[in-house]
A and B are shown apart, each in its own frame.
Chain A
Amino acid sequence: DGGITQSPKYLFRKEGQNVTLSCEQNLNHDAMYWYRQDPGQGLRLIYYSQIVNDFQKGDIAEGYSVSREKKESFPLTVTSAQKNPTAFYLCASRQGKEGQPQHFGDGTRLSIL
Chain B
Amino acid sequence: QKEVEQNSGPLSVPEGAIASLNCTYSDRVSQSFFWYRQYSGKSPELIMSIYSNGDKEDGRFTAQLNKASQYVSLLIRDSQPSDSATYLCAVKGDRGSTLGRLYFGRGTQLTVWP
Contacts and interface: CB of A to CB of B under 8 A. Distances in A.
Interface of A: 31, 33, 41-43, 45, 48, 50, 56, 58, 90, 94, 99, 101-107
Instruction: Identify the 7 closest CB pairs spanning chains A and B, nearest first.
Output: A42-B106, A104-B43, A99-B32, A43-B104, A107-B43, A42-B104, A50-B100
Nearest to B103: A45
B101 interface: yes
A20 B51 CA distance: 36
B31 A99 contact: yes
Interface string B19-58: 0000000000001101000000011111001010000000
Q: Interface size class for chain B?
A: 20 to 34
Main secondary structure of the interface of A (DSSP, over half): strand
Contacts of A48: 100-101
B88 interface: yes
23 contacts: A31-B100, A33-B102, A42-B88, A43-B88, A43-B104, A48-B100, A48-B101, A56-B97, A90-B44, A94-B100, A99-B31, A99-B32, A99-B92, A101-B32, A101-B34, A101-B102, A102-B34, A102-B102, A104-B43, A104-B44, A104-B45, A106-B43, A107-B42
Contacts of A106: 42-43
Q: Tell me which of B32, B51, B90, B104 has the highest count of chain A C-beta atoms within 10 A of its own C-beta.
A: B104
Contacts of A31: 100
Given A43-B88, A99-B31, A90 B43 contact: yes
